[in-house]
Structure 1
Amino acid sequence: MKHTSHHPSEAGDWYEHAFDLTRGIAAYTRSPLIEGISRVIAKHPDAHIANAFNHKQVACKLWARDTLLSAAGPAYSRIAILGGWYGILGAMLLEDSRFKVAAVDSFDIDPDVEAVACTLNAAFADRFRAVTADMYAIDYAALQADLLVNTSCEHIADLRSWLDLVPTGTRVLLQSNDYFSEPTHINCVASVEDFVNQAALTTLDFAGSLPTKKYTRFMLIGTV
């Protein structure tokens, strides 16, 4: 039987190993997003990047990206992402050659994530902007985004009151879930039908569900 040993310093070197690994994966895949993650590991060691890019987060964002392409097409002059966190969804859209996206604005109320999002999206600095802002305080008419994305509708106490701030005719991509046991989820929905009723969109291009191990994620694409 083969035995392996671990040096005591290996656990403490996690960030160094992760940095080397992600740099190698970035070189192999030529992915600006993976390269950005390696920069975040090196520059922002306190960022929860492993949680932000875990397989569940990635699956939900891939679902959003691929469904958006099929339901609403590839071309956008400005995409505004609310609750954008570290800007991963923005990077996924910007690095996908199937899309033609002129600009992505990633908004988040947490001031600590702005610098991390900019580091992660450094390859797209000419098209990506991270902004610290309360989603209720944004002037959506002045923003002139042709797509608003909010993948955290379970955190919004009154979804329709927020949507009422958005100019009529604006396309939106919304996600929520039925993970009622999570204390920070203050407005979950039990089904995609409940989500449709809650959002009350003017037009609906897509309504669907993505089952996961602990909960089901719901998504709507349409216009306000």
Structure 2
Amino acid sequence: MDGAYNTCIMDATQPDTVADWHETAFDLTRGIAAYCGCSLVGGLAKVIARHPQADVGNAFNHKQVACKLWARDKLYESCGGRFANIWIVGGWYGVLAAMFFDDPRFDIDAIDSIDIDPGVAEVAATLNDRWKDRFRAATADMYGLDYAGGAPDLVINTSCEHIADLRGWLGLLPSGTRVLLQSNDYFSEPTHIACVASLDEFEKLAGLRQIAFSGELPMKKYTRFMLIGTV
């Protein structure tokens, strides 16, 4: 009887296991943002509160973050931190843009995060609200963009495994445009229609005129490949 009674007392004092996850996550991220003074985490708290449908668990998982940190650090090492206008195609929720803005090493006038999915622009704008004077989320097909007229000094595509014709897309960019490209060898993912088996294959596929950085980042289930250079 004592054992049963003690169990009842313990269960009564446990947190409600069906409490709203979003409310808990919002409180947690808001608290972390206040503690560390991080605008990016503060933006994430706003996303959780305003966009409960957003797949932030996937967007901010450790693999996604690791690949973006790698891109940010290698870009700084290869090209410095001063940019007038960066276009990120396939920008999704604008996480990479927020990571650039949050890094004091970078001096960027504007970042355009462009994605064909009309459901992500509002989320990206919320995440980057702290930098709304320098950030724009647009819904567009990257094949229909005016790269010459827009004149970005850096174009980023971290989802080349989703592009059936990488060379065809790169051919739309004016000669001399700087690019940062990522792909992987995760062939078992159905949405990855253009994976590459090696870094060498990625270099040949991209056919860049000049390469400032070429490297790979081993992950648990795949290897991420990255190129930084000019078309």
TM tier relative to shorter chain:
over 0.9
Match of 1:203 in 2: 210
Indicate yes or no: 2:127 matched with 1:120.
Answer: yes
In 2: Cα distance, 1:128 partner to 1:95 partner: 12
Residue 75 of structure 2 is aligned to residue 90 of structure 1: no
C-alpha deviation, 1:8, in angstroms: 7.6
Matched position secondary structure for 1:218: strand
Question: What is the CA–CA distance in structure 2 between the aligned matches of 1:209 and 1:178, rounded to whole Å?
Answer: 11
Q: Tell me the alpha carbon deviations over residues 4-28 of structure 1, each in whole angstroms, 9 at most, x when there is no partner.
A: 6475843342111100000011111
Q: State whether structure 2 residue 158 is matched by structure 1 residue 155.
A: no
Q: Identity across aligned pairs (percent)?
A: 62
CA distance in 2, matches of 1:8, 1:113: 33
**Partner of residue 52, structure 2:** 45
**1:165 and 2:172 aligned:** yes
Counterpart position of 1:13 = 20
Q: Which residue of 2 aligns with 1:137?
A: 144
- 1:190 and 2:206 correspond: no
Structure 1 residue 109 corresponds to structure 2 residue 128: no
Per-residue CA deviation, residues 5-53 of structure 1 (Å, 9 max, x unaligned), is 4758433421111000000111111111100000000000000011100
How many angstroms apart in 2 are the aligned matches of 1:53 and 1:111?
20
Q: 2:34 is paired with a residue of what secondary structure?
A: helix
Letter in 2 for 1:17: T
Letter of the structure 2 residue corresponding to residue 206 of structure 1 = F
Query: What whole-Å deviation, never above 9, does each CA across 1:186-221 have from its counterpart, x for those lacking one?
Result: 000000000000000000000000000000000000
TM-score, length of structure 2 as denominator length: 0.94
TM-score normalised by L of structure 1: 0.97
CA–CA distance in structure 2, aligned partners of residues 72 and 218 of structure 1:
18
Q: Distance in 2 between matches of 1:146 and 1:37?
A: 28
**Gaps in structure 2 of 5+ consecutive residues:** 1-5
Structure possessing the higher radius of gyration over alpha carbons:
2
Gaps of 5+ in 1: none
Q: Give me the whole-angstrom Cα distance separating, in 1, the residues matched to 2:88 and 2:166.
A: 15
Structure 1 stretches of at least 4 aligned residues deviating more than 6 Å after TM superposition = none
Q: Once structures 1 and 2 are overlaid, which stretch shifts more, 54-63 or 4-13? A: 4-13
Q: Which amino acid in the other structure matches residue 117 of structure 1?
A: A
- Aligned-residue RMSD, C-alpha: 1.4
- Supply the distance in 1 between the matched residues of 2:132 and 2:115 (Cα, whole angstroms): 18
